Amino acid sequence: MKLPMRARRSRIEDAMLPLINIVFLLMVSFMLVGAMSPPDAFELEPPRSTTLAPSDAGAHSLVIAADGRLGLGREAFPPGSLAAPAAAWHAQNPDAVLQVKADARADTQAVLGVLETLRAAGIAKVELVAAKAGLEASPP
């Protein structure tokens, strides 16, 4: 005996479920792809390079402005006062790589002096960050 099949009534909740799933997946993907690093202490223009290595922004970066100001993470401080913050950073992050972001107009001798201070503080892993030559500089 064959019984006739009833037509299933659609509910609004059934129509909303795929939309909720898609919105949730989009939200998760934007959270994973988006940069969640804190901004640098101040804005600078990076030097240009023809070859680049991938860089990681965040609290593991030291910025050097054109006028010599320094910033470690979000803290800015005057030139010549790098030794104590660098030693404190190294004590908290002994195996981390410190990225040095110098302004393209910064004095080369000042940058070398900063690198010497970092070495004296015990920081052995340092990366210099640059922008790809021929591209417009984007704010950090």
The pLDDT value recorded for residue 30 is 82
pLDDT of the residue at 61: 82
pLDDT at 40: 65
- From residue 127, how far is each of 21, 53, 63, 91, 119 by CA, in Å? 41, 9, 12, 18, 13
| Nearest-10 crossing angle of helices 108-120, 83-92 | 50
Alpha helices in the chain (DSSP H): 12-33, 83-92, 108-120
pLDDT the model gives residue 59: 59
DSSP 74: T
Q: Are 43 and 139 in contact (CB under 8 A)?
A: yes
Task: Mark the ranges of the chain whose per-residue pLDDT is less than 70.
Answer: 1, 7-14, 35-59, 131-140
Fold of 48-132: Nucleotidyltransferase; domain 5 (3.30.420)
Q: Domain map of the chain by residue range?
A: 1-34, 48-132
The rounded distance, in Å, linking the Cα atoms of 43 and 11 is 54
> What pLDDT was estimated at residue 57?
47
Query: CA 81, CA 117: separation in Å to the nearest integer?
Result: 10
Task: Decide: helix, strand or coil at residue 49.
Answer: strand
